[in-house]
Structure 1
Amino acid sequence: MPFARLASATTPTCHIGLGLAAVGRPGYINLGRDRDLPADRSVAALRARTHELLDAAYAQGVRYFDVARSYGRSEEFLADWLTDRPEADDVVVGSKWGYTYTANWTTDAERHEVKDHSAQTYERQRAETEALLGDRLDLYQIHSVTPDSPALTDKELHAGLAEAAARGVTVGFSTSGPAQADAIRAALAVTVDGEPLFRTVQSTYNALETSAGPALAEAHDAGLTVIVKEGMANGRLAGEQAPDALKAVAEETSYGCDAVALALVLQQPWAGVVLSGAATSPQLASNLHAAAVYLDEDHLARLAALVEDPRAYWERRSALPWH
């Protein structure tokens, strides 16, 4: 598996990855994005910002980069960067299929992405991803599986994914929504010719939303690499908007709220890679401090009090505006 390359890495930040959802397209839901990005959100401007972040991440030891078909031009921006930097042959590249980007490079589209987990969409988007990333693609994931997703039962799709796995691409899935644990357990049961189909899982887990934790531990025990997204709850756990309990722990550790929030996830024994969704180089540098943060039992107990009901958490997330 490509993640064995991370397991053998020696940099403190090798288990922190960089996701490009926030910089691969002009509109996204992260809080504070109006401050983080310039008024000029042209393709050229966001390409430059993405390459700046990739340069900074690679220089600081990050070796996993996460994109998706629905993240605007994130695959294209990453592909250009990889071409320009042949020395970065040790990175692991993951992408996702299942959502089609429909905003046409605007911030005020009625719909920014359309979900479709059919075998036909997989074939189309797999060709699109291959045209951009070629043999640099290590991991291809179904984007945002839920318990009712046809991707869990579609045998034609499973055969196509198994064929990709036979050609050397690791096959995984991501989850979203209040029933993440159910989706994870259902995906663990999917087999092709008696063998488990999925080798990775990417889920939301943070100080506010921990409901997927037991299922992620089960996935880890089953041999899957666990990738954690939204460790800062789309910005709710960073800066002035962070809860007071998190601010207090951050002050005691002498690190930022963002670093503490990510450190909480890194300390989970099942966490393989934890994603930063930084939109600026200073944000990224602060996020990477998570590798140095130690949270004791008292810290963990106080942060545990922040957990929200999963349905309330996801309702609030779905109400965040694209900007």
Structure 2
Amino acid sequence: MFDKLEDTVARYEELMNELSEPDVANDPNRFKRLMKEQSDLTPLVETYREYKQNKQNIEESLELLKEESDEEMRELAKEELNESRAKVEELEEKLKILLLPKDPNDDKNVIVEIRAGAGGDEAALFAAEIYRMYMHYAESKRWKVETLECEEIGIGGMKKVNFMITGQGAYSVMKYESGVHRVQRIPETESGGRIHTSTISVAVMPEAEEFDVEIEDKDIRIDVMRASGNGGQCVNTTDSAVRLTHYPTGIVIYSQTEKSQIQNKAKAFALLRAKLYDMELQKRQDAEAADRRSQIGTGDRSEKIRTYNFPQGRVTDHRIGLTLYKLDKIMNGDIQEIIDACIAADQAKKLANMNEE
């Protein structure tokens, strides 16, 4: 571990020297790449330097205890020794986490797809509520949200909605939302007051650049038509709606959220690229060891990950056994506590796997 850390510090110092060269600023791509690498390494280097400083403090405190006879000075040395030892333990754990292999997609923007599952109209209403939950969460992070595709029902629900979240590290956070979300409540249409259970599925896909996925012209059919639906933001009255059909996979994308055909086409291709890239990622994960697939955030899309129980005002994340009694706040976008718990559990599992190897 420490050899790797020393190599990281050496690389960090190389980067700082390169960035100080006058000609680097004249090459925007090189400058951006170096700045990105420097930014990625900074937390690890700073933590390691703090670790080494505390190790040095321990040595100095031990040396002082050997030589010092004044009781007051010895007490101060013991106090600093204990503080430094505790800090070293804490920083060792932090370094292990920082050294964990990073998901190459973590810094990417995401495309989220929400689909109503079992439960008919009630599932579609819940899909719309979860969509709004993510909208509020993205606003709290100052991320940008853009609707790509949606299929609404007349009572305010959504059978399906795809949207892009643009923001630094969006995938590293949002990937823990993939899976089946279950709601338990009394629907407004239920006259007998019985609690119904409905489900929706959430798929979180990293945004794919054009170089990530190759789409050949012969594999695509593009149709242009009049937008249609039940009203709302997803409908307009011009011949601007675009439908993409990808022959090899059978994926069909229908985009009508913009009044411009060019914009709808761009959104449709962004969504198609994300879906194809995500399919490739899923294939790779399926081919890997079971312990890799079982990690939180890379699990089966059909896995039931969370239950929202309205009568009890509780939300339970089944992957980590976390139950919170603040459903109203969570439905209003306050999901950071759940995501932080998922990240901590994922890191713990990866560390345990690393220690077994």
TM-score by length of 1: 0.29
- Using CA pairs under 8 Å that are at least 6 residues apart, name the structure with larger relative contact order, 1 or 2: 1
Higher-strand-fraction structure: 2
